Copies of this chain bind each other. A is one copy, B any other.
Amino acid sequence: MNEVNNSGSCIAAYRIFGDKTTDFSKKAESIAVGLTVGSWTDLPQARKQAMEKHLGRVVQIEVFEGEGPERYADVSIAYPDINFSRDLPALLVTVFGKLSMDGRIKLMDLHFSESFMSAFPGPKFGIEGVRSLLGVPERPLLMSIFKSVIGHDLPELKEQFKQQALGGVDLIKDDEILFENPLTPIDKRVPACMEAAKEAEQQTGQKLLYAVNLTGPTFQLKEQAKKAIELGANALLFNVLAYGFDALHALASDPDISVPIAAHPALAGALYPSPYYGIAPSVLLGKLMRLAGADLVLFPSPYGSVVMPKEQNLAIRDVLRSTKLNQEYASGELQPDWTLKPSFPVPSAGIHPGLTPWIVRDFGRDVVVNAGGGIHGHPGGAAAGGRAFRQAIDAALQGRSLQDFAADGHLELQAAIDIWGAKQ
């Protein structure tokens, strides 16, 4: 194992699978050399001196011997910053471009150098910024999703929006599959929904962010975002993986795109679930999303219908919020702290009010409780659904059981528990 090159390397951690014959050290060295200088041992000494600053280095190897023929190793390799430009396509192509096709190998983690990170301002708002826009300094936020949108006309959509807003939700997001369409194009949808938001605010006294789905051709995304904002949109939803992390980075870095961006995980399931291939969720939906500037990040919750194992969920949570992301390796001075603003974790799918205490237990206050069916499916309608969630959040914050709290005259919560139960 080589010494760490402290001065400006990004580190990629991989899990590499093999069998009883696999020489993981040799494999790691071949990656470190092959993805940087190309060849090393046969170089003349003078040449080595000139090339050393470009050479990748094996930082860590841990081999796990299984009981069967399968073995694997966790391998970390440092890639000198000098080899790639300071953008995410360059970094990802360097560390996992060709290598992703080299048998069973999964990208498990990424550590960014100070120099690399300096190109990334990160989330424009972050958790505090979103809270400040909403005037909600402490409690978990509540987001709701349209029930169904395709084939609905503008008055229907507006009414659906208003009912959600009346329930006291903090954010409403477009469905990620709502694209530009004749019934509810963005230039009609945004004014109609923002009007509904205003109408609801007169009753609830509460602010609301509407995350409008940013879609269409890549090279028109900035214009489309600015158009949505001019029309009144005060947040954006973005299918990051369909466009690449660099597009998110560019949108988040643009001073004229002056609203929070919520990153949707659409297509992520093609990349993270296999143990043998792809990219770990804490990287894909965690570090890379935050680095690229997502203020809120949606990901499959461990509670609901689309399930992600809880430890993966908590790993996403940690990298979205922590400042100590780069100190997992041996020495404290190896990599810098993250000074980027933290992103709001938004565990999603299959959430009903009865799960709220679990979300708060696992995520604390800095979380967005996100529901679709759990709001629209409430027997009292979407507004009652929103209220049930807000009551559940209050109960969780007060450390009271949902049953107790519901019995205390919180009828919407009681009705929700009656159909969906409350997880014990």
Contact = CB atoms under 8 A, between A and B. Distances in A.
B267 A51 contact: no
Nearest to A88: B242
A318 interface: no
A50 B6 CA distance: 63
Interface stretch (A276-284, A362-370, A404-412, A416-424): A276-284
A83 B149 CA distance: 10
A150 interface: yes
A275 to B, nearest CB: 9
A151 interface: yes
B217 A219 contact: no
A163 interface: no
A379 to B, nearest CB: 14
Contacts of A151: 37, 50-51, 53-54
Contact of A244 (B39, B243, B265): B243
Given A85-B215, A177-B84, A278 B268 contact: no
B215 A267 contact: no
B96 A270 contact: yes
Interface in A254-274: 264-271, 273-274
Nearest to A84: B179
Contacts of A239: 89, 93, 97
Nearest to A222: B219
Contacts of A242: 88-89, 92-93, 97, 244, 246
For the side of the interface on A, what is the size category? 35 or more
Interface in A129-157: 147-151
A270 B83 CA distance: 22
Contacts of A90: 179, 215-216
Q: Pick the most buried of A53, A149, A176, A217: most chain B CB atoms within 10 A of its CB.
A: A217
A92 B242 CA distance: 7
Contact of A150 (B83, B87, B266, B278): B83
A85 B51 contact: no
Interface string A71-100: 000000000001111011110111011111
A95 to B, nearest CB: 9
B51 A265 contact: no
Contacts of A278: 270-271, 274, 277-278
Interface of A: 35-39, 50-51, 53-54, 82-85, 87-90, 92-94, 96-102, 104-105, 107, 147-151, 176-177, 179-181, 215-219, 222, 239, 242-244, 246-247, 250, 264-271, 273-274, 276-279, 300, 306, 308, 349
6 tightest A-B CB contacts, nearest first = A38-B148, A97-B266, A100-B269, A101-B269, A89-B242, A54-B151
30 contacts: A35-B177, A37-B148, A83-B179, A83-B181, A84-B177, A85-B179, A85-B215, A87-B216, A89-B216, A89-B239, A89-B242, A89-B243, A92-B266, A93-B177, A93-B239, A93-B242, A93-B266, A96-B267, A97-B267, A98-B177, A99-B269, A100-B266, A100-B267, A100-B269, A107-B270, A218-B243, A218-B247, A243-B243, A274-B276, A277-B277
Given A101-B273, A244-B244, 7 more contacts: A37-B150, A53-B151, A54-B150, A83-B181, A87-B216, A98-B306, A100-B270
